[in-house]
Structure 1
Amino acid sequence: MAVDALDTRILRLLLEQPRTSVREYARILGIARGTLQARLDRLERDGVITGSGPDLSPAALGHPVLAFVHVEVTQGHLDEVGDALAAVPEIIEAFSITGGGDLLTRVAARDNAHLEDVIQHLIQVPGVVRTRTEVALRERVAYRLLPLVESVGAAADAKDRRRQAASDIR
């Protein structure tokens, strides 16, 4: 899905000012509310915007230990293990991956002993062969999308300028 300069400006506002009203976004952008709403609807329909809920902190919820647990799965049991992992509340994300393991999970725990309990639970899931755990010490780059949005927007702007220059030559 192509994201143009206006889409980029909309996404930037959504990321920078997530609690602002649609009316205020339209005023800031200098566009009609209907135009903005149509853009937002398209961005949601195309899967660019995937949610609008608050971002929560596992640490503030009493789970300050963050670990990445690689899970090796018996061949042919990836779906079953994935379903079992979805039932573990401390697993806040899980991805099937290539490389050293079959699944990569992000786990939030109260402390190291709790993390060990979660890992022991994972090892007992049918189809899990072994796990490998890496504990995060400090977040160096927080989850972010604004630099990516700006990069996509800049590429779209450059493409539009090239297209305009080509049509001016004709």
Structure 2
Amino acid sequence: MISKEDEKLLAALKHNARASISDLARMLNLSRSTVQTRIARLEQSGVIKGYSVDYGEDYLASLVSAHVSIKVRQKLTAKTNVELKQIPQVSALYAISGEYDLIAIVQAQSTEQLSHILDDIGNLDGVERTNSSVILETKFKR
């Protein structure tokens, strides 16, 4: 269980993970050493797994995105998951029920790059077939 102070620290880091320890200490009215200790404890306990980059809306709007349904040979599912994780343009991978086993979210710089990535996915050992849907427009996102 984390404390209310830890929740405030997590909220501040979620807002800006690049904030300095000094800035966080000022925001939270805590000492620098207290903030460093709390962050270290949250990292060691696994509450904070890592830090990431949030892309700007203009950059995201310039990408070509697609949902790629993937049918996998069952005995090779784990291997296929690892190989898909190695493709930087695969931003998410979900196990699903139904005719296909996985849905990958792919984000590419162009339709040409997307085509090459789809070929790469289709050629992975264990992939039986794929079905892709290019995202034309985002109506809303929460």
Same fold (TM over 0.5): yes
Distance 1:83 1:117 in 2: 19
Pairing 1:41–2:40 present: yes
Instruction: Pick the aligned partner of 1:99 from 94, 97, 100.
Output: 97
Aligned pair in 2 of structure 1 residues 13, 118: CA closer, same or farther (>3 Å)?
same
- After superposition, residues 12-161 of structure 1 pair within 5 angstroms as 12-56=11-55, 60=59, 64-95=63-94, 97-100=95-98, 101-136=100-135, 137-138=137-138, 140-141=140-141
Query: Which runs of no fewer than 5 residues in structure 1 stay unpaired?
Result: 143-170
- Which amino acid in the other structure matches residue 122 of structure 2? I
- Give yes or no for contact 1:94–1:106 (8 Å, CA) kept in 2: yes
Distance 2:80 2:37 in 1: 40
Look at both structures and tell me which one has the larger radius of gyration over its CA atoms: 1
Partner of 1:146: none
Distance 1:48 1:6 in 2: 14
Q: TM-score, normalised by structure 1?
A: 0.67
Aligned pair in 2 of structure 1 residues 107, 59: CA closer, same or farther (>3 Å)?
farther
Name which of structure 1's ranges 41-50 and 61-70 shifts more when overlaid on structure 2: 61-70
Query: Which runs of no fewer than 5 residues in structure 2 stay unpaired?
Result: none
Shift of 1:63: 6.2
The number of residue pairs the alignment matches comes to 140
- Which amino acid in the other structure matches residue 88 of structure 1? I
Aligned pair in 2 of structure 1 residues 140, 77: CA closer, same or farther (>3 Å)?
same
Percent sequence identity over aligned pairs: 28
Aligned pair in 2 of structure 1 residues 18, 121: CA closer, same or farther (>3 Å)?
closer
Aligned pair in 2 of structure 1 residues 58, 131: CA closer, same or farther (>3 Å)?
farther
Q: Deviations over 1:13-57 (max 9, x none)?
A: 112233321122112211222222221112111222222343346
**Coordinate RMSD, CA, aligned:** 2.7
